[in-house]
Amino acid sequence: MTRLKIAVLFGGSSEEHLISVKSAQEVSKNLDPERYEPFYVGITTSGAWTLCDGPEPGWETAGTPAMLSPDSSTRGLLVLDGNSYRTIPLDVVFPVLHGTQGEDGAIQGLLELTGIPYVGCDVPSSALCMDKSLAYVVAAAAGIATPSHWVVAANENIEPEGLTYPVFVKPARSGSSFGVSKVSSRTELLSAVVTAKQYDSKVLIEEAVVGSEVGCAILSERFGLVAGEVDRIALTHGFFRIHQEAEPERGSDNSTPIVPADISEDARALVQETAKRIYRALGCTGLARVDMFLKDDGTVVLNEVNTLPGLTSYSRYPRMMAAAGLPLAEVIDRLVDRTLQGARR
């Protein structure tokens, strides 16, 4: 049996670099060696691409310079070999990249140029989901509840007196909880905006939705969408931070995901169905983790959509899928199969 040549891209120059490396390590452990011939391409924080043996310590300096060819007639990797390049043809690419340049459509645009099938959402849905304010507009137009929110563009000011507190201030186009602040009074607002602008020039201010934070993993199949088990975030203090900012590869220091979520069966079904509606409305393909709020009155409100969610051992997406009977190895196989079937539209 001829093995599929799969390139696993990881690392990247976003604030989620270390999380991407850990996700790639988990993907590496779950690739069937009889089915796949993997090629690991790490991207350093400075943006250098290197073909290496895997996402293990020291990969940044142990590899060989390589890049995806934007020439669709090549459909593979160009690897520096002395003073010339050799080509490695590829069957599929799995971009295990998070945050900016990983989930925002940038790498997806390059992959479209290569002509190589790739796992995950396409350019428009990646860009749309990364921009939370635009995702809210589209979701609301589809009849999905979203938080009340305000956008602060670059060089724009906002009047603190015009808001009802508490509010959350966050970068509009950034991953995880980097740059997010909970603001309880108008005196804290401007500094929170400054913090958010360290990650993005466009800032989102949104109401603090009162309710449980829940999530649902979605996987697209030829016959439709598969929803993983719903999880609920249990907090010990503060607001939910999926990663520590100082050491993001260690995961959260103030939360535990409860899988399956300790909610009623009716609420669970509603969360899963709402997640599917959001996934469809935003044009997602492949995989996505839909984060929502479940209010006491039963209303489900969109929080955000992660188009390439974390795949580490502690990440929510693989835990939700495993709880639904789909271990990560099977999820990867299904993603690759669906990609090669030409499901992307």
Count: domains in the chain: 3
Residue span of the structural domain in which 313 resides? 210-340
Q: For residue 249, give the amino acid letter.
A: E
Query: Residue 250: what pLDDT?
Result: 54
Q: Are residues 177 and 268 in the same domain?
A: no
Is there a domain that residue 286 lies in? yes
**Cβ 199 vs Cβ 169: under 8 Å:** no
Query: Residue 243: what pLDDT?
Result: 47
Q: Are residues 304 and 237 in the same domain?
A: yes
Q: List the CATH number of the domain containing 244.
A: 3.30.470.20
Q: Are residues 165 and 223 in the same domain?
A: no
Query: Residue 216: what pLDDT?
Result: 98
Q: Are residues 67 and 175 in the same domain?
A: no
What distance, in Å, lies between the first and last C-alpha atoms of the chain?
Answer: 29
Query: Residue 175: what pLDDT?
Result: 72
Q: For residue 228, give the amino acid letter.
A: G
Is there a domain that residue 124 lies in? no
Weakly modelled stretches of the chain, pLDDT under 50 = 237-238, 240-241, 243-245, 343-345
Q: Are residues 200 and 167 in the same domain?
A: yes
Query: Residue 203: what pLDDT?
Result: 94
Q: Are residues 178 and 284 in the same domain?
A: no
Query: Residue 344: what pLDDT?
Result: 43
Is there a domain that residue 137 lies in? no
**Cβ 126 vs Cβ 108: under 8 Å:** yes
Is there a domain that residue 184 lies in? yes
Q: List the CATH number of the domain containing 184.
A: 3.30.1490.20
Is there a domain that residue 19 lies in? yes
Nearest to 304 by CA among 313, 292, 296: 292
Q: How many CA atoms lie within 13 A of 58 on its CB side?
A: 2
Q: Are residues 214 and 197 in the same domain?
A: no
Q: Are residues 239 and 195 in the same domain?
A: no
Is there a domain that residue 37 lies in? yes
CA–CA separation, 92 and 103 (whole Å): 18
Q: Are residues 222 and 248 in the same domain?
A: yes
